[in-house]
């Protein structure tokens, strides 16, 4: 199962590199997009929960790293106004081009 990282800039201009055990984050976040904190957290939660469930389906247990990343994002998001902007700076690796 391919792993990935996604990089975001929080409303205070700090940058965070985040981990996902699955490329599913590409389905929920777009590079260069700016989301209100509340929407970013909802999208990240969906992506990381889905990623963790993919690990469970394959290996029989959830991905504690994905869930820990979600906990960290949730705590960080709580320090900002729900409508403050979060920008997605990168998704690595990028998806392969369509064939």
Q: Which residues contact 43 (CB under 8 A, 6 or more apart)?
A: 28, 29, 35
Please, what sign has the CA dihedral across residues 1, 94, 46, 63?
Answer: positive
Taking the model in full, what pTM does it have?
Answer: 0.92
How much is the pLDDT for 40?
98
pLDDT (tens digit per residue) in 7-44: 999 999 999 999 999 999 999 999 999 999 999 999 99
Task: Inform me whether the pLDDT recorded for 99 exceeds 90.
Answer: no
């Amino acid at each position: 199962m391919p792993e990935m990282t996604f990089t975001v800039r929080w409303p205070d201009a700090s940058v965070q590199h985040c981990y996902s055990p699955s490329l599913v984050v590409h389905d929920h976040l777009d590079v260069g997009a700016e989301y209100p904190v509340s929407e970013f957290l909802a999208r990240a939660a969906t992506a990381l929960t889905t990623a963790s469930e993919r690990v469970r389906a394959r290996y029989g247990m959830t991905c504690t790293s994905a869930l820990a990343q979600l906990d960290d994002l949730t705590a960080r998001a709580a320090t900002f106004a729900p409508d403050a902007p979060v920008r997605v700076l990168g998704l690595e690796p990028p998806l392969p081009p369509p064939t």
